[in-house]
Structure 1
Amino acid sequence: MEIPVCTFDLKTGIFCERCEEKIRRGEVTELDIKIMRALLELEKNFHQLQSMSYVKSVDTKDAIVVVLRDGNLSAMPQHSLASIKRKLSDILGKNVKIIEDAVDIGRFLEPLVAPARIVAINKIWLPDNSTEIRIILDDERSLKLSVESLQEISRVTKNINLKVDFAKKSQKKVRPVKQKVGPSEDRDKRQNVT
């Protein structure tokens, strides 16, 4: 697997100056190191990982998202990918999603919002010359990750400010409250009806 640090350094835990600088600048985090070690270990059983490239990982309150280079997952059988996710989840103690670092923001976000579907994507130019991406999803109830998690993943991996809206908001059904009526009140109500 192609990784952003030296393989030897990762295995030994002693990093060269170049790798140490990446860690100091925050390009590589402790989470990245932990996941890269786990992926290198999984390479022994899943040979498809050898041709893949690791990009970044993000730990959110809902899941850990592992980002691989665009085009890497298409060569991997789905059962192997499911096994890798399961093994990483066991190692990390949290749900794991593996996605590709697609250039197109829609393709990048689709696996994160699934089974919800993206209805529209808009780019908004703000007065301070920054931009914001607004996505509209079909149904809030089908979204597995929280909106905050989606925003954090987009900010950390793509440096994008993300706003999420829904075409159909989830609405909680409110049941009418039945009034309890005492025996004398019940008799009075019946007399008024007739």
Structure 2
Amino acid sequence: MRFPICSVCLKSNILCNACAERVGNEEIKIDEIEMFRRLNEFLGDQRSLRDVEIKRAVGRKILMIIVNKGDMSKLIGKDGRIVKKISKELERPVRIVEYMPDLNGFIREVFFNIPVIGINIVYKPEGKLYKIRVPESERTNLPISSEILASISRSLFHADVDVVFE
């Protein structure tokens, strides 16, 4: 498996200069690095996952693992064995999300069962702001917090995102 940090940093508690810079640029948090280390620890020997690239692993109630396009089925495994193993090991539900090259597709993938009223682009002098409009009744059903979604969007798409409840 491939992670945003190198294999040496996965095995040690210290980040090398290159990984520290990459982590700083991509806004990856310490708890996310710990999650990468745990995933590598109990899934590192799986041959079927050798080519899987994990981009992010975020969320408190539900762990959302973001993988490259085409890697989702490998990480789920036959009959869901691998994702069940991850869920059992981490003692919380896990959702695998495929990375999409466009922000709109990615947002719709993240909000898989939540109706998105619309995604509006607000043009500001400092750049674009994407406003994701979601029904007020779905406020408690979001798979990840709006702050985490904003952080992921900044690091993967270099775009500011705001979730608005209507």
Query: Which residue of 2 is the match for residue 38 of structure 1?
Result: 38
- Structure 1 residues 133 and 150: CA distance shift in structure 2, 3 A: farther
The whole-number CA distance in structure 1 between the counterparts of 2:75 and 2:6 is 28
Query: Which residue of 2 is the match for residue 151 of structure 1?
Result: 146
The yes-or-no answer on 1:162 pairing with 2:157 is no
Instruction: Give, as a single letter, the amino acid of the residue that structure 1 aligns with 2:4.
Output: P
Deviation, 1:115, is: 1.7
SS in 2 for 1:118: coil
Listed as ranges, the gaps of 5+ residues in structure 2 are 155-159
The whole-number CA distance in structure 1 between the counterparts of 2:79 and 2:119 is 28
Q: Is the 8 A contact 2:76 2:83 kept in 1?
A: no
Query: Which residue of 1 is the match for residue 86 of structure 2?
Result: 88
- Structure 1 residues 51 and 111: CA distance shift in structure 2, 3 A: same
Listed as ranges, the gaps of 5+ residues in structure 1 are 167-194
The whole-number CA distance in structure 2 between the counterparts of 1:81 and 1:38 is 22
Query: Which residue of 1 is the match for residue 113 of structure 2?
Result: 115
SS in 1 for 2:50: helix
TM-score normalized by the length of structure 1? 0.62
Deviation, 1:42, is: 1.4
Deviation, 1:82, is: 3.7
The whole-number CA distance in structure 2 between the counterparts of 1:134 and 1:68 is 24
Higher relative contact order (CA 8 A, sep 6+): 2
Q: Could you give the per-residue CA deviations for residues 100-141 of structure 1, whole angstroms, max 9, x where no partner exists?
A: 221222321223222223343221224x54432223447835
- Structure 1 residues 76 and 101: CA distance shift in structure 2, 3 A: same
- Of structures 1 and 2, the larger Rg is shown by 1
Query: Which residue of 2 is the match for residue 187 of structure 1?
Result: none
The yes-or-no answer on 1:131 pairing with 2:132 is no
- Structure 1 residues 83 and 156: CA distance shift in structure 2, 3 A: farther
Cα RMSD (Å): 3.3
The whole-number CA distance in structure 2 between the counterparts of 1:161 and 1:24 is 19
Query: Which residue of 2 is the match for residue 19 of structure 1?
Result: 19
Q: Could you give the per-residue CA deviations for residues 52-104 of structure 1, whole angstroms, max 9, x where no partner exists?
A: 112122234x323222223322x538554843333333333333322122122
Deviation, 1:51, is: 0.9
SS in 2 for 1:108: helix
Query: Which residue of 2 is the match for residue 182 of structure 1?
Result: none
TM-score normalized by the length of structure 2? 0.70
- Residues matched between the structures, number: 160
Query: Which residue of 2 is the match for residue 183 of structure 1?
Result: none
